[in-house]
Amino acid sequence: MLLRYRVGAVVSLAKHQNGGAKTVLWTSKNFRTQSGVPHGHFAGDATFLQAVDFYFDKAAAIASVSPDILAQIKACNNILRVQFPLKCSNGTVELIEAYRAQHSHHRLPVKGGVRMAPNVNGEEIMALAALMTFKCAVVDVPFGGAKGGIKIDPTKYSLNEKEAIMRRYTSELVKKKFIGPAIDVPAPDYGTGPQEMAWIKDTYEHMKSTDINGAACVTGKPLEEGGIHGRHEATGLGVFFCLREFLNDQDLVKKLHMSPGVKGKTFIIQGFGNVGRNLVDCIQRAGGLIMAISEKDGGLVDETGKGLDVSSIKEYHTRKGTLCGFPGANTIRDPAKILELPCDVLIPAALESQVHSENASRIKAQIIAEAANGPVTPSAEAILEKNGAVILPDLLLNAGGVTVSYFEWLKNLNHIHFGRMSRRMEESGKKVLLEALEQEFESKNKLSDDLRKELVKGNTEIDFVWSGLEETMLVSWANVRSTAERKDCNYRTAAYLIAIERIATCYRVNGIFP
């Protein structure tokens, strides 16, 4: 049985009218009886929330943490459900349903994306918020976990309608104190991007005009609105850093009867959104072969054995809005079939529960790298591991997005971009050093202008961001790997264990538990 979800009394449990909007703080019982069917859910598989609970319990069983602290760590502290009217462009009025869950306040602010999807429900949002709590703890980013969702299909609404929805959603969060630089900081997720984050920022700053740190109320913003260089590539790059480290580890790949390195390995990518599009570039630059890419309406399979032409596919996808029909590759209309094709590495980069009990036995990949949140159900994980596959868990692998969101939040609080105070000083120091070396050794072959420029170049914001991201991912991967070896468990359990013990330490140090 699932642990009870303790719901904090932030607003009244009774439904009430508030400026045309209904606000409800739901209990987990409401969600169990009224939530929709999760993505990819099959009879016998856990729901997404049940899966997160299952993975948590598996790690909790070997943690040196008392049951009372474990219950607190597992509980979802607050869940807000709002409904508000939208006047559509055709003159009709539609009721919009939206959520914001705050899973853990052991560190503030809480952090998590806002998604737009037609099957958003409270249980899914609580699961994603819990995952964010543990994800931040694994990579040692000082946030609690949160998540938001708006139950619409964004492709069915005009730009003006989406703006109205996002602004009203933000105003509801402001009124209920579910957003703020020190309280709760949203970010992009499935179906949202920089434009939606700009609308959130603008709405918040209009309602909280005296908050000097207002720009830090949301991350993933456009650069012009206080965003940060490298945020767009962050999640895909973080996945690549961890995957590269695994594949470069001779001891680990030897167990799979593989040679070390990314070069020459075959990859299948499910999902060609922000994460997938940036990830394929990293893999291809490292010499990996992209053998198939799938989207919700179908996908492409390489027929040459040399890998897909990623740059041409990206241009085609941008122009056509679909992968299907791309010349030079075989189009498969059933995207689920692409998951089952032979490859070295399968990367689910779309939605949760894509690998489940019904298709897990047909997965041929030796490595499953979870770029999406919760793409493998517990029953599927058992089947895959029985067949000798290794799963690199979402809890670590896709934490690059929240890591760079943390950097953006710091940038906004400091009111200055990284490198502004140091870049020219670094360049001046390097020039002095180069000139001194040339004079000392009386070099007859002076450095070329291009080489000199490269050697003396100071660090820009993106240099700081990518360096910080790589450091975070590599240190975190090393911790997960060593924990898995020490506890004789898989990487997912190791990641959850690290998160649980770090959160428990936070509670103990703060004096909340003895």
- Tokens 């949002």 — which residue? 125
**Any bridge partners for residue 112, and if so which?**
186
- Do 52 and 82 share a structural domain? yes
Per residue in 100-156, pLDDT (tens digit) is 999 999 999 999 999 999 999 999 999 999 999 999 999 999 999 999 999 999 999
* Residue at 492 is within a domain: no
Mean pLDDT of 213-231: 95
Strand residues in 151-277 grouped as ranges (E): 184-188, 266-270
* Residue at 505 is within a domain: no
Structural domain of residue 414, as residue ranges? 403-461
- Do 433 and 326 share a structural domain? no
What percent of the chain clears pLDDT 70, i.e. is strictly above it?
90
* Residue at 183 is within a domain: yes
- Do 252 and 219 share a structural domain? no
* Residue at 140 is within a domain: yes
pLDDT(309) > 80? yes
- Do 388 and 244 share a structural domain? yes
* Residue at 347 is within a domain: yes
- Do 30 and 100 share a structural domain? yes
* Residue at 467 is within a domain: no
pLDDT(323) > 80? yes
- Tokens 């998590």 — which residue? 112
Is 265 known to be catalytic?
no
- Do 65 and 117 share a structural domain? yes
Nearest to 498 by CA among 60, 127, 147: 60
Among 147, 201, 221, 411, the active-site one is 147
Exposed e or buried b per residue across 158-187, where buried means at least 16 C-beta atoms within 10 angstroms of its C-beta: eeebbbbbbbbbbbbbbbbebbbbebbbbb
Mean pLDDT of 84-110: 95
Could you give the CA distance from residue 112 to residue 21 in angstroms, rounded to a whole number? Answer: 23
- Do 190 and 240 share a structural domain? no
Q: Any idea what the CATH number is for the domain that residue 353 is in?
A: 3.40.50.720
Residue 491 vs residue 335, higher pLDDT: 491
Q: At what angle do helices 491-509 and 461-487 cross, to 10 degrees?
A: 100
Mean pLDDT of 321-349: 90
- Do 300 and 350 share a structural domain? yes
Instruction: Tell me which of 461, 477, 503 is where a domain ends.
Output: 461
- Do 180 and 51 share a structural domain? yes
pLDDT(392) > 80? yes
- Do 192 and 166 share a structural domain? yes
Instruction: Tell me which of 196, 225, 254 is where a domain ends.
Output: 225
Q: At what angle do helices 122-138 and 491-509 cross, to 10 degrees?
A: 80
Residue 444: predicted pLDDT = 56
* Residue at 497 is within a domain: no
Residue 296: predicted pLDDT = 85
Q: How many domains does the structure of the chain reveal? A: 3
- Do 172 and 275 share a structural domain? no
Question: What is the residue-wise DSSP string for 240-297?
Answer: HHHHHHHHH-HHHHHTTT--SSSTT-EEEEE--SHHHHHHHHHHHHTT-EEEEEEETT
Residue 16: predicted pLDDT = 35
Instruction: Tell me which of 373, 397, 421 is where a domain ends.
Output: 397
Q: Any idea what the CATH number is for the domain that residue 65 is in?
A: 3.40.50.10860
pLDDT(23) > 90? no
Per residue in 253-285, pLDDT (tens digit) is 999 999 999 999 999 999 988 898 999 999 999
pLDDT(493) > 50? yes
Residues 6+ apart with CB under 8 A from 343: 266, 267, 268, 291, 292, 364, 365
Could you give the CA distance from residue 400 to residue 275 in angstroms, rounded to a whole number? Answer: 10
Per residue in 428-463, pLDDT (tens digit) is 888 788 777 777 676 656 777 777 777 888 788 888
* Residue at 21 is within a domain: yes
- Do 384 and 252 share a structural domain? yes
- The encoded tokens of residue 479 equal 């911790």
